[in-house]
Amino acid sequence: MTGNTFGENFKITTFGESHGKAIGVIVDGVPSNLTLSEEDIQRELDRRKPAQSFITSQRIEDDKVEILSGVFEGKTLGTPICMIVFNRNQRLEDYLDLKNKFRPGHADFTYFAKYGIYDYRGGGRASGRETLARVAAGAIAKKILEQKNIKIIGYTKSVFNIEAKKIDYNEIEKNPVRCPDKNAAKKIIKKIIEVQKLKDSVGGIVEVVVKNCPAGIGEPVFNKLDAMLAYAMLSIPSVKAFEIGTGFKCTTMFGSQQNDEFYYDRKLKRIKTKTNYSGGVLGGISTGEDIIFRIAVRPTSSIGKEQTTVDISGKEYEISIKGRHDPCICPRIIPVAEAMTAIVLVNLLKNA
Amino acid sequence: MTGNTFGENFKITTFGESHGKAIGVIVDGVPSNLTLSEEDIQRELDRRKPAQSFITSQRIEDDKVEILSGVFEGKTLGTPICMIVFNRNQRLEDYLDLKNKFRPGHADFTYFAKYGIYDYRGGGRASGRETLARVAAGAIAKKILEQKNIKIIGYTKSVFNIEAKKIDYNEIEKNPVRCPDKNAAKKIIKKIIEVQKLKDSVGGIVEVVVKNCPAGIGEPVFNKLDAMLAYAMLSIPSVKAFEIGTGFKCTTMFGSQQNDEFYYDRKLKRIKTKTNYSGGVLGGISTGEDIIFRIAVRPTSSIGKEQTTVDISGKEYEISIKGRHDPCICPRIIPVAEAMTAIVLVNLLKNA
Amino acid sequence: MTGNTFGENFKITTFGESHGKAIGVIVDGVPSNLTLSEEDIQRELDRRKPAQSFITSQRIEDDKVEILSGVFEGKTLGTPICMIVFNRNQRLEDYLDLKNKFRPGHADFTYFAKYGIYDYRGGGRASGRETLARVAAGAIAKKILEQKNIKIIGYTKSVFNIEAKKIDYNEIEKNPVRCPDKNAAKKIIKKIIEVQKLKDSVGGIVEVVVKNCPAGIGEPVFNKLDAMLAYAMLSIPSVKAFEIGTGFKCTTMFGSQQNDEFYYDRKLKRIKTKTNYSGGVLGGISTGEDIIFRIAVRPTSSIGKEQTTVDISGKEYEISIKGRHDPCICPRIIPVAEAMTAIVLVNLLKNA
Amino acid sequence: MTGNTFGENFKITTFGESHGKAIGVIVDGVPSNLTLSEEDIQRELDRRKPAQSFITSQRIEDDKVEILSGVFEGKTLGTPICMIVFNRNQRLEDYLDLKNKFRPGHADFTYFAKYGIYDYRGGGRASGRETLARVAAGAIAKKILEQKNIKIIGYTKSVFNIEAKKIDYNEIEKNPVRCPDKNAAKKIIKKIIEVQKLKDSVGGIVEVVVKNCPAGIGEPVFNKLDAMLAYAMLSIPSVKAFEIGTGFKCTTMFGSQQNDEFYYDRKLKRIKTKTNYSGGVLGGISTGEDIIFRIAVRPTSSIGKEQTTVDISGKEYEISIKGRHDPCICPRIIPVAEAMTAIVLVNLLKNA
């Protein structure tokens, strides 16, 4: 079993270390005759890039995507699309101090345990930078979904103990934390600045909503829509949990509360549920209601605060991670979560 | 993309409707020369079967597993192992009333939306009964793990608002709710009986711990150990959430709290972490610490209480589900969660 | 990588040793609402069964197929279909003499080399009997193709040096060697009887033609239609070669001869080729012309003639294989080749 | 089902049109800590490149491979290795005349039939140029096999009716047609020059031998070693047939001739066969003898001779293909066949 391919009908294979020559992805299974340009991809990549505001990493990643194959005269050929971003602006000096020392909360140690070697220059494949390949692939998936009027909306539901009290989709892209509640956004920003000053980081919850997904999507019994989403979400660096619909809250509910009753909507001329506690999925198949799920985003592993660790020989060190890291990764994880959601949906829609 | 196969190196393919002729599984990728008998499988199946106590479903499922292939003179041949349980003791009359009416919280509607047909006799493939095939396959996976001294322990962490305050592994199989805290177990049983009288059901949290998994297991970037576990867990009927380590709690933590610091353990002669907030996985690869995760189990969908619904033509009905359903499915989901965990681990260990 | 699954969209997984309890298959990816009965399957199985005439094996295999899942009230559910044939009428005494002795031309030795164990009772998974599972799955694939008017016709092209001089499809099922040329059939039958008397066996060539496959089927660059067919054909026991169109003959041809020129057929209103030397496939994708390929079928390995061999300890023996074996397996391989062809086509059509 | 990925444990995914920006491959599943440099890859690519001699295409393809990921300080990381060759020296003017006209023997028509669009500049994905990605991946596979002392040797067995009468491995790379018989080589070269003058092309047979493959490799019943080889070979452009061991010749043999008798080799201390008519594979698993197979290579489709065809609207044209095409592709297909053989073996060895 290899690890760098996801999906079967719309299959993405990513490559590249964070400080290697390039990061990229091959997307196989894209329908032919779809209009596609580098701008379509760049737009999504720009939503993920650092230094969008003062509260994200101040690295300048001048990430320009190039399409190397699969597009001819502005249209997809039906052949694999390779997209690539060359790595530039690498401050390798930030990493030399850390050579062979395992950063707490990072994958240095586990990669070394697994492979007997690792690229100590910034996380290699375990770096969040790998996710730009997913966002590029997701941009194509989103274009396919758009044709079916399916929309994916991700936002910061909470950071630390500050929760969005209302969900105004129009607000999301207006504030740097992508919070749909203007007031909560302000408080979150304040909190992040505070944490940043302490050379620390903080976690949060990202919620994703899928609009207009028709009923009938998902492949029981293993490739359930919610199982595939959980799989995709937990594959994103920093994500520690997934819940759909009521999620963990349903463990303190009764069946009579959690069950969504069916009714016939005369206007829409289709069967709907009165409530949506299931989050749009029953038995692993979409119900036609909004798909709603949440993921837990851990506080960024890279912190300036001193931490104790060991190097590959087991010798102890105090380390402090330099560089330009995000104190809270939620805003930048949103486009990644949306991309992986789009990729899951396109894979399952092909079977519908 | 089909839906009934899981895993690549240790590949299981399940079949069977809950009220069809039989339910079974083919397991491909089992090493040869492993001692294996029907008793090995039956033992695990018996942990999943209903009517183990008064608080689980009182259906008598006389589920005797038969091995049809892949075992010769008590040893595995390295060829696919087909295991089958014929369906007996079916009380079809319980379902006739419900013909063509969509039970709330069940997959009747979504199966019909997807396939244009469904087996109305008790859930078909969406029935919890499908999971016996997983438990059978998992029994083989567990035998393989035993040889490497890897142990999987599942238990009820909470039901409704009653939480286990201590974790005593020896207690788990002594009480019918598989709770590792004797006192919590009593309260949970009381709660379940109460809920049962109200013709309702209740949810809970199941926790799974993997002991002695070596460092280095998991395939980044998509087939991460935690991503595969989330995928496997969410594929189990009634599971609505997955979290590993601190899970959702880490969203209110700082990086300096969540990061597990490394040290060198002179006695064990290996690198360990002082804490285990990550739940035994970093960057999708096992750290060598205990793997700890939790799943949210929704209140059973089948309840005796009256509910409103529609039939396939959209006509409204009041229904009340008869039959012998579990008021809380946590105790019976535990062997399923353990089985799927074992299957994930064996798949990933083959790559180590 | 496991070995007992074929296909992705229409995925078959087979199980069972020739002298174990049962042989069967799970077919996943069958569309729902397809009319399907055990008779549909049995008809194809009967074409493969031994003792159809005096020149095939005289074993009486009373192979009755049972559908265990995936069909409800005569219609497919869209869920996995498990089909099973229980093994009866086993003359194990035929094999006891051969215990632990490697039959020449058989897989006893290689299975033992691979697995360190093998089922010595008649070939286990390597037995031709395994192919009944493929024929059962192929029967479903054929039903799907029929809806698109796609027909698969297999026949014996030659046995030893006797070749069919004309191809009369109506003749095929009228003679026991399934030869489309009545006169060649007579000579082949005579030859087979002659070989049988010598306790020997003989090989032949089977040709398969696919009618009405639309242009555009096949997935470059690896899952080409011809590559998938070659893969499927070589997976059939006794098949040692595959060629499409002119095949090996094209190696003595010029480009100007082999290239099929295009023209526009005004009656059919589509582009066709004047000749069909390519065998209906260009660049791995169907052209819309007949798909024509041939496979080489080796002389049956099981012969009554004395042969030298060794047992698992390396000790030498003279052995002579008893039992009721086919002196020429071509007529019985035809339904298997057709089944695998149908399975390949259905897999690739799902992408069209 | 997508088409651009091959293998499961050692998984290659290729991309790139012949006249697009670049051609490349991601190889996933390469063991870590393998010494690997661009020179290792370039050496194999140079064996495939055109203009190695006057009888191959005179295109100058200055194909320099770049490794973009997966290698760090000269060692593999265990992460995916992306290798890329940028397309330069494109003489697009050679193709403008042919725009929208379907070249006979080429895939222009079938790609258009499948995708409704195609890259008319030289074959796109169907071009032989795609195979450089396979050769690059195969170079890594070969390095892995070398560590196990497994060697793959490919050579031209025949061209037109000129056949190698003896097999001298040392001769192969000494003549431009890679024929192991010096005299046959001379005759073949003469024939090719003759054909070239006629603006025509000619086919041939390539034979591949695998030395030192241990017994026990191959995954019955579908992923048989010979089935995987046939699959891999037929996926190579211009290959129309595959045979292993005696291949088609066995159809005129008796079982007593084709069966290889076993004996115990006292010197090697292992069981061997006296003959090797099976070509080193029984029941889909390697016997430990040499693996020997042959492929039929069709005469190159691109010829200067006038041919009749139609354009996408069905209008008839006379065309004559300009450019620098190989009159016989056998010598350049050899490194491709070796590469695909290596990739199949590494995939199957991982299971051994």
pLDDT in tens, A218-267: 999 999 999 999 999 999 999 999 999 999 999 999 999 999 999 999 99
Mean pLDDT of chain B: 95
Please give the torsion angle defined by the CA atoms of residues A118, A124, A128 and A130, in that order, rounded to the nearest 10 degrees.
-130
Q: What is the pLDDT of residue C15?
A: 98
- The string of pLDDT tens digits covering residues D134-167 is 999 999 999 999 999 999 999 999 999 999 999 9
pLDDT of residue C57 exceeding 70: no
Most distant CA pair in chain C, distance: 70
**Taking Cα atoms as reference points, which of D156, D199, D203 lies closest to residue D177?**
D156
Answer whether C32 sits within 8 Å of B116, measured CB to CB: yes
| DSSP letters spanning B230-268 | HHHHHTSTTEEEEEETTGGGGGGSBHHHHSPPEEEETTT
One-letter amino acid of D82: C
Q: Distance from C323 to chain B by nearest Cα, in Å?
A: 22
Q: What is the pLDDT of residue B350?
A: 84
Answer whether B72 sits within 8 Å of C119, measured CB to CB: yes
CA pseudo-torsion sign A278, A280, A286, A288: positive
Which residues, including other chains, have CB under 8 Å from residue D164's CB and lie 6 or more apart?
D155, D156, D157, D158, D179, D180, D181, D184
Residue C244 β-bridge partners? C293
Answer whether A223 sits within 8 Å of B2, measured CB to CB: yes
Q: In whole angstroms, give the CA distance from residue A301 to residue C153.
A: 63
Contact between B17 and B119 under an 8 Å Cβ cutoff? The reply is yes
Among B331-335, C297-301, D55-59, where is mean pLDDT lowest? D55-59
Nearest CB to C8 within list A8, A79, A220? A8
ipTM surpassing 0.85: yes
φ, ψ for residue A76 (rounded to 5)?
Answer: -75, 145
For residue C59, what pLDDT band results from cuts at 50, 70 and 90? low
Answer whether B77 sits within 8 Å of C14, measured CB to CB: no
Q: Distance from C119 to chain B by nearest Cα, in Å?
A: 7
Which overall architecture, per CATH, does domain D5-245+280-349 show? 4-Layer Sandwich (3.60)
What is the CB-side half-sphere exposure of residue B151 using CA atoms within 13 A? 4
One-letter amino acid of A25: V
Answer whether C72 sits within 8 Å of B11, measured CB to CB: no
Using CB atoms and an 8 Å cut-off, which of residues 59-78 of chain B contact chain C? 66-70, 72, 75, 77-78
- The string of pLDDT tens digits covering residues D86-122 is 998 666 676 778 899 999 999 999 999 999 999 988 8
| DSSP letters spanning B176-224 | TT--SSHHHHHHHHHHHHHHHHTT--B-EEEEEEEESPPTT--BTTTB-
Nearest CA in chain D to A72: D119
Burial class (CB in 10 A: 0-12, 13-18, 19+), C332: buried
Q: Distance from A186 to chain C by nearest Cα, in Å?
A: 49
Burial string for C18-35 (b: 16+ CB within 10 Å, else e) reads bbbbbbbbbbbbbbbebe
Nearest CA in chain D to B2: D1
Answer whether A255 sits within 8 Å of B201, measured CB to CB: yes
> Token pair for residue A244?
């759909």
Examine residue A221 and say whether the peptide bond preceding it is cis (omega within 30 degrees of 0). yes
Answer whether D220 sits within 8 Å of B79, measured CB to CB: yes
- The string of pLDDT tens digits covering residues A73-86 is 999 999 999 999 99
Contact between B188 and B196 under an 8 Å Cβ cutoff? The reply is no
Which residues, including other chains, have CB under 8 Å from residue D145's CB and lie 6 or more apart?
D151, D152, D342, D345, D346, D349
Contact between C122 and C18 under an 8 Å Cβ cutoff? The reply is yes
Residue C293 β-bridge partners? C208, C244
Q: Which residues of C touch D215 (CB under 8 A)?
A: 109-110, 113-114
Chain centroid offset of residue C194 CA: 25
Q: What is the pLDDT of residue A61?
A: 59
Examine residue B221 and say whether the peptide bond preceding it is cis (omega within 30 degrees of 0). yes
Q: How far apart are the first and last CA of chain A?
A: 27
Q: Identify the chains in contact with D, defined as 3+ C-beta pairs within 8 A.
A: A, B, C
The predicted model gives D192-220 an average pLDDT of: 97
Contact between D124 and A79 under an 8 Å Cβ cutoff? The reply is yes
Answer whether A271 sits within 8 Å of B114, measured CB to CB: no
Q: Which residues of D touch B8 (CB under 8 A)?
A: 8
Which residues, including other chains, have CB under 8 Å from residue A226's CB and lie 6 or more apart?
A218, A244, A279, A281, A284, A293, B234, B240
Q: What is the pLDDT of residue A47?
A: 94
Q: What is the pLDDT of residue B4?
A: 98
Answer whether A220 sits within 8 Å of C8, measured CB to CB: no
φ, ψ for residue C130 (rounded to 5)?
Answer: -55, -30
Q: In whole angstroms, give the CA distance from residue A17 to residue A130.
A: 7
For residue D325, what pLDDT band results from cuts at 50, 70 and 90? confident
CA distances for B1 relative to A256, B5, B315, C245, angstroms? 34, 10, 34, 31
Q: What is the pLDDT of residue D121?
A: 87
Q: What is the pLDDT of residue A59?
A: 62
Using CB atoms and an 8 Å cut-off, which of residues 257-316 of chain C contact chain B? none
Output Rg (C-alpha) for chain B, integer angstroms.
Answer: 21
Burial string for C264-298 (b: 16+ CB within 10 Å, else e) reads eeeeeeebbbeebbbbbbbbbbbbbbebbbbbbbb
CB neighbours (10 Å) of residue C351?
19
Answer whether D220 sits within 8 Å of B8, measured CB to CB: no
What's the count of helices (H) and strands (E) in chain D, helices before strands?
A: 8, 18
Helix (H, G, I), strand (E, B) or coil at C275: coil
Q: In whole angstroms, give the CA distance from residue B315 to residue B309.
A: 8
Residue C11 β-bridge partners? C28
Q: How far apart are the first and last CA of chain D?
A: 27
- The string of pLDDT tens digits covering residues C219-266 is 999 999 999 999 999 999 999 999 999 999 999 999 999 999 999 999
For residue B304, what pLDDT band results from cuts at 50, 70 and 90? very high
What is the CB-side half-sphere exposure of residue C6 using CA atoms within 13 A? 35
Q: What is the pLDDT of residue A308?
A: 97
Q: How far apart are the first and last CA of chain C?
A: 27
Q: In whole angstroms, give the CA distance from residue A285 to residue A278.
A: 11
Answer whether B117 sits within 8 Å of C28, measured CB to CB: no
pLDDT of residue D199 exceeding 90: yes
Answer whether D231 sits within 8 Å of C227, measured CB to CB: yes
Q: In whole angstroms, give the CA distance from residue C231 to residue D230.
A: 6
The predicted model gives B222-242 an average pLDDT of: 98
For residue B52, what pLDDT band results from cuts at 50, 70 and 90? confident
Q: Distance from A143 to chain C by nearest Cα, in Å?
A: 20
The predicted model gives C59-88 an average pLDDT of: 92
For residue B62, what pLDDT band results from cuts at 50, 70 and 90? confident
Nearest CA in chain B to A244: B240
Helix (H, G, I), strand (E, B) or coil at A263: strand
Q: Identify the chains in contact with A, defined as 3+ C-beta pairs within 8 A.
A: B, C, D
Nearest CA in chain D to A67: D21
Q: What is the pLDDT of residue D324?
A: 74
Q: In whole angstroms, give the CA distance from residue B251 to residue B258.
A: 10
Q: What angle do CA A336, A341, A345 make, to 5 degrees?
A: 150
D115 and chain A: CB distance < 8 Å anywhere? yes
Counting one residue from chain C and one from chain D, the pairs whose CB atoms sit within 8 A come to 379
Answer whether C15 sits within 8 Å of B68, measured CB to CB: yes
Burial class (CB in 10 A: 0-12, 13-18, 19+), B15: buried
C81 and chain B: CB distance < 8 Å anywhere? yes
The predicted model gives D179-190 an average pLDDT of: 98
B319 and chain A: CB distance < 8 Å anywhere? no
Q: What is the pLDDT of residue A323?
A: 76
**Taking Cα atoms as reference points, which of D92, D96, D118 lies closest to residue A75?**
D118
Answer whether D240 sits within 8 Å of C237, measured CB to CB: no
Nearest CA in chain A to B352: A114
Q: In whole angstroms, give the CA distance from residue A129 to residue A121.
A: 12
Q: Which residues of A touch B288 (CB under 8 A)?
A: 113
Nearest CB to D116 within list A1, A33, A66? A33
Q: Identify the chains in contact with B, defined as 3+ C-beta pairs within 8 A.
A: A, C, D
Answer whether C247 sits within 8 Å of D241, measured CB to CB: yes
Q: In whole angstroms, give the CA distance from residue D34 to residue D42.
A: 17
Q: Which residues of C touch D297 (CB under 8 A)?
A: 251
D341 and chain C: CB distance < 8 Å anywhere? no
Q: What is the pLDDT of residue A246?
A: 98
Nearest CB to D8 within list B8, B79, B220? B8
Among B198-212, C123-137, C152-166, D42-56, where is mean pLDDT lowest? D42-56
Beta strands B65-67 and D307-310 are unpaired
Q: Distance from D256 to chain B by nearest Cα, in Å?
A: 29
What is the CB-side half-sphere exposure of residue A175 using CA atoms within 13 A? 23
CA distances for B84 relative to B14, B15, B51, C88, angstroms? 10, 9, 21, 18
Q: In whole angstroms, give the CA distance from residue C198 to residue C191.
A: 11
Using CB atoms and an 8 Å cut-off, which of residues 13-32 of chain A contact chain B? 14
Q: Which residues of C touch D219 (CB under 8 A)?
A: 1-3
Chain centroid offset of residue C98 CA: 27
φ, ψ for residue B231 (rounded to 5)?
Answer: -60, -50
The predicted model gives C53-76 an average pLDDT of: 84
Contact between C249 and D158 under an 8 Å Cβ cutoff? The reply is no
